[in-house]
Amino acid sequence: MTHACKMLSAALVAMTMATLSGCQSTTASGAVGADRQQLLLVSSQQLDQMAAQAYNKLQAESAKKGTLNTDPALTRRVRAIASRITPQTRVFRADAPGWKWEVNTITSDELNAFCMPGGKIMFYSGLVKQLSLSDDEIAIVMGHEISHALREHSREQVSQAIAAQTAIGVGAALLGLGNGSASLANTAYDVLVAPSFSRVDENEADRIGLELSARAGYDPRTGITLWQKMLKASQGGRPPEFLSTHPAEASRIQQIEALLPTVMPLYEAARKGR
C-alpha cells in the first residue's frame, strides 16, 4: 500500500466511507512483474469517455487541416503493428483486447505518439520518418504507449489530484457532486491533453511495453536503438514532443538491457510460432 493509499484509507475511515476502496492494480504482473497498487478514485468509464471525445476532436481538427491519415502506407504500417500487439494485452488485463482500439496517423514534423485511455492511438509521421524507425522500433514505442493506457496512469493522476484536495473535496468528487466534479473534469482534461508521466510510470510502461512487443514477435533489443535515437534527437536544436513527457535517459537504456533476459525468450517463442 502506498503512502497516498494509506492516507486515503485513513480519510475514508474518518468519513465512514470504508466501503469505497480506491487501491487496486489495473493489471496482472506478467513476466516483467508490474503490479504496483494504485490509487483510483474515478471510474475508467468516465476517463475513457473524456479521452474518446478528446481523440475525436483531434481527428476532426487534423482532417480539417488535411493531415489525418494522409500517408496511407504509414497508416497501414502502424495499424498492422497494432493488430499484432493489442491481442497480447490480455496477459496484463483480460478486458483490454476487447477495447475499442483506434489507430490513426497525423502528417506532421512533430516527433510524437500516444495512446489515450481506452486505446486511442495516434502516431505522428515526424517520429517515424525523422528517426527512421523500423517496424520493431515502432512496436517498442507503441507497446510503451499502450502500457500507459493498460496501467491507467492518467486515471491515477486524476485520482491523486483529487486525493490532494480536502477530504470533503474527495467525497464530493466520488459522489459526482458540486465543485468536486467540476474540478475533476478540469483535472482530467489537463491530464489527457498534456500528460506528464512520473519516473515510476515510465519504468512500468517500459517494462510492460517491452513484454507486449516481444510477445507480438518484435525484437526487444530494438528498445535500445530506439532510445539511443531519442537521446540523439533530444540533443538537437528542437527536442521531440515525445520527450517532454518521456525523458530519454541513459538509465532507461540500462533498464531495458537488464530486462532482455526476461523478454528475449518470449520474442523467440513468438517468432517460432509465426
List for the chain the helix, strand, coil content (%; round to 5). Answer: 65, 5, 30
Closest residue to Zn ion: CB criterion:
246
C-beta of 30 vs 209, nearer to Zn ion = 209
CA distance 272 to 253: 27
Least Cβ distance, residue 202 to Zn ion (angstroms): 5
CA distance 125 to 127: 5
CA dihedral 253, 258, 262, 265 (to 10 degrees): 70
Q: DSSP letters of 38-95?
A: EE--S-HHHHHHHHHHHHHHHHHHHHHHT-BT--HHHHHHHHHHHHHHGGGGGGT-TT
Least Cβ distance, residue 250 to Zn ion (angstroms): 16
Least Cβ distance, residue 207 to Zn ion (angstroms): 11
* Unique residue bearing C-alpha cell 481523440: 55
Least Cβ distance, residue 245 to Zn ion (angstroms): 6
C-beta of 123 vs 197, nearer to Zn ion = 197
C-beta of 209 vs 217, nearer to Zn ion = 209
CA distance 196 to 201: 9
Q: Which three cell numbers stand for residue 24?
A: 487496486
- CB burial class (10 A; 0-12, 13-18, 19+) of residue 18? exposed
Is 241 among the residues known to form the active site?
Answer: no
C-beta of 205 vs 259, nearer to Zn ion = 205
C-beta of 22 vs 143, nearer to Zn ion = 143
- Site residues (CB under 5 A) for Zn ion? 197, 202, 205, 246
Catalytic residue among 102, 137, 145, 204: 145
DSSP reduced 3-state for 20:
coil
Least Cβ distance, residue 158 to Zn ion (angstroms): 17
Question: Which residue in 126, 267, 255 sits closest to 200, CA to CA?
Answer: 255
Question: Which residues are known to be catalytic?
Answer: 145
